Amino acid sequence: EFLLKQFPQHAEADDARIARGKLKLIQGDGNGAIEIFKSVNPVSDRYPVALQYAGATYWAMYVDGKKKGDAGAAEHRKTAVELMQQSAAEFKKNTGAGQIAAQQETQLLLAEMHLEQDETAAALPLLQPLVDGLKSKQLTSLDRNSLRILVSALRAYSSENQPQQAVEVGQILLAAGDDIPVVNGVLIEFARIVRSNWKKTANELAAAEQSKEEGRINNAKLAEAAARESLIKVQTQISARKQIDLGGQVFLAETCQDLAQNFKVLGENDK
């Protein structure tokens, strides 16, 4: 209150407004928080952060309303998306060094909003710079935001039929992701992508052998062998994890059967 009275037009006052909005959220007053967030000065460099908080609050109201079947949930979603898009636009105009994390949160949440509606083409441009940032680091563990980025990116790459990018993200999850259900569930989806890629190469090998074209056969054999080895590696790494649900265990077992049958066809029964 002191900051708001003494320095109403200064950045410190906008910090105070955002803090008051957060306190309203703690008290369960989402509408009151939104009103305060929207009161931040539009010319302030805190404005995009305030828009983000307002959008995130509308989004939380949408998610809660959707579960309850509220008629107004769709309108809350629309407003949330509009505010997050506005926040992203404001960040592009003026992003201070201390606001990079806030800008990334806007990008990530907006991408998650798009993915919730299966709008993967719109989500990918928002996620790609976040994924590139993680790739540039030596990750030994994943915090909540890193996990959100990788999970969203894997979904988007899978839907947009970009298997190579999905594999790269999946390898990061395998290397740095904890052995917990939320990570393992995504890794099973990753393994499905790798198995699907192997199946495609196996089908191409069968078609090549029927064509009797030596060059095509040799290329198909190399591609199938590489895809199979990749699947075996992923299968082995995921199978070592403990917290895999029943559906994931069944998938892993079926994949083992597929690989065993493939080795049998190749005459390598010992494998």
> How many other β-carbons are positioned within 10 Å of the β-carbon of residue 132?
9
pTM of this structure: 0.78
Rounded to whole angstroms, the Cα distance separating 17 from 213 reads 72
The 10s digit of each residue's pLDDT in 133-163 is 998 888 878 888 998 999 899 889 888 888 8
Tell me if 201 sits within 8 A of 220, measured CB to CB: yes
Compute the 3-state secondary structure of the chain and give helix, strand, coil in percent, each to the nearest 5: 80, 0, 20
Tell me if 127 sits within 8 A of 149, measured CB to CB: yes
The 10s digit of each residue's pLDDT in 90-136 is 998 876 666 888 999 999 999 999 999 999 999 999 999 999 999 88
pLDDT of residue 113: 96
Q: Give helix 181-211 / helix 246-265 axis angle, nearest 10°.
A: 20
Residues whose CB falls within 8 Å of the CB of residue 72, separated by 6 or more in sequence, listed in order: 65
DSSP category for residue 179 = S
Supply the mean pLDDT for the chain: 91
> How many other β-carbons are positioned within 10 Å of the β-carbon of residue 30?
18
Residue 104 token pair: 């990334």
